[in-house]
């Protein structure tokens, strides 16, 4: 495996500084013992959600993603994972609740197939998105429906060999921005633009772009991912989650 895909294990005394965003990567394919451990820390409403999945594989991935989220949040919030409480924004964005209101620890997550990425920050909103690069999905019709005129124009300048990667760079950057704001598809996708040419710097062009910083990363071969964090004064640290 390419060395860029080897993410470090975190230090024992993990600290989340004000000027840091921590991104964790985790495989959601867990053995039964670890999956049971994840299930044991879920709340009643999470267990109910898990029970509604049609396919056992999807249910197990949800249980793993939430269990790992609780384990990681427990480290940052210094709380037993099972006692953490979430509140949900008007469009479903989860946030950590404390006795005094919203926690200073902010987070967001994304999962696809058996891979999950999590972002954590202190006192700053963030959004994260992950997608497998699927050339069969990266077609003209979908691009026209989701991309802004500026993005479409940039996409059309690319050779066919670059278009699938560019499509998912665009998609994950847009989605990470929408998730950072927490408003879901209330934000028209054509109302802001991101750059998408592979190898070129990532840039967000929106009415509030001064408020955010956008960063793309490749969490595993064949995947694209992006994170958008509030303000520009943060650095990214990446950790690998192991059961
Ligand atoms: C709700 C939404 C976040 C779903 O995103 P998704 O890509 O299907 O799923 P992801 O795995 O990336 O993210 C899901 C997680 O985001 C979090 N989430 C849910 N609603 C959210 C919101 N409004 N804002 C931020 N995060 C949200 C949750 O933790 C959720 O995981 P969980 O419920 O299993 O814990 C939303 O942005 C959406 O529906 N997007 C539509 C996709 C689209 O058309 N994108 C166009 C891009 S060009």
The CATH number covering residue 172 comes to 3.90.470.20
Pairing state between β 235-240 and 20-27? parallel
182 CA: nearest ligand 1 atom: 24
Task: Check: CB of residue 118 under 8 Å from CB of residue 23.
Answer: yes
Compute how many other C-beta atoms are within 10 angstroms of the C-beta atom of residue 154.
19
Structure tokens at 215: 């960063």
Would you say residue 190 lies in a domain? yes
Which whole number is the average pLDDT over 40-58? 96
Q: Which residue has the higher pLDDT, 175 or 2?
A: 175
Any atom of ligand 1 within 6 Å of the Cβ of 184: yes
pLDDT band for 4, please (50, 70, 90 cuts).
Answer: low
Q: Let me know if residue 111 belongs to a domain.
A: no
Cα-to-centroid distance, 190 and ligand 1 (Å) = 18
Q: Residue 102: pLDDT band by 50, 70, 90 thresholds?
A: confident
Alpha carbon distance 50, 53 (integer Å): 6
Q: Which atom of ligand 1 is nearest to the CA of 127?
A: 25
| Residue ranges making up the domain that contains 136 | 130-230
Q: How far, in Å, CA of 125 to CA of 78, rounded?
A: 20
Instruction: Give the pLDDT confidence of 183-234 residue by residue, as tens digits.
Output: 988 899 999 999 999 999 999 999 999 999 999 999 999 999 999 999 999 9
Q: How far apart are CA 219 and CA 226, in angstroms?
A: 9
Structural domain count, the chain:
1
* In the predicted structure, residue 178 carries a pLDDT above the cut 60: yes
Confidence of residue 91 (pLDDT cuts 50, 70, 90): very high
Instruction: Report DSSP state, residue 184.
Output: G
- Do residues 172 and 216 make contact, with C-beta atoms less than 8 angstroms apart? yes
Task: Record the tokens describing residue 133, joined without a space.
Answer: 């690069």
Q: Is 179 in the pocket of ligand 1 (CB under 6 A)?
A: yes
Secondary structure of 155-175 as H, E, C letters: HHCCCHHHHHHHHHHHHHHHH
Domain assignment present for 59? no
Please identify, by atom number, the ligand 1 atom nearest to the C-alpha of residue 147: 48
Residue 198 inside a domain? The answer is yes
Q: Answer yes or no: is 82 within a domain.
A: no
How many other C-beta atoms are found inside a 10 Å radius of the C-beta of residue 62?
Answer: 19
Quick check: is 185 in a domain? Answer: yes
Q: Please indicate, yes or no, if residue 104 is contained in any of the structural domains.
A: no
Residue 100, pLDDT > 90, answer no
CA-proximal residue: ligand 1, atom 3 (nearest):
179
């Amino acid at each position: 495996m390419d060395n860029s895909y080897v993410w470090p294990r975190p230090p024992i005394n993990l600290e989340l500084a004000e000027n840091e965003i921590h991104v964790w990567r985790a495989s959601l394919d867990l053995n039964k013992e670890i999956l049971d451990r994840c299930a044991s820390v879920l709340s009643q409403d999470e267990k109910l959600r898990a029970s509604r999945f049609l396919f056992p594989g999807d249910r197990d991935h949800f249980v793993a993603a939430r269990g790992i989220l609780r384990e990681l949040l427990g480290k940052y919030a210094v709380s037993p994972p099972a006692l953490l409480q979430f509140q949900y924004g008007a469009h479903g964005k989860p946030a950590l609740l404390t006795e005094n209101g919203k926690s200073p620890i902010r987070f967001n997550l994304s999962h696809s197939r058996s891979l999950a990425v999590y972002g954590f920050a202190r006192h700053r909103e963030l959004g994260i998105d992950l997608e497998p690069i699927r050339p069969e999905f990266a077609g003209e019709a979908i691009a026209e429906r989701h991309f802004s005129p500026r993005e479409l124009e940039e996409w059309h300048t690319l050779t066919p060999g670059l278009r699938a990667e560019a499509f998912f760079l665009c998609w994950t950057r847009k989605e990470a921005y929408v998730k950072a704001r927490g408003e879901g598809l209330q934000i028209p996708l054509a109302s802001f633009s991101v750059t998408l040419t592979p190898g070129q710097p990532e840039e967000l062009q929106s009415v509030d772009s001064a408020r955010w910083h956008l960063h793309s990363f490749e969490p595993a071969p064949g995947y694209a991912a992006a994170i958008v964090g509030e303000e520009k004064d943060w650095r990214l640290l990446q950790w690998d989650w192991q059961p």
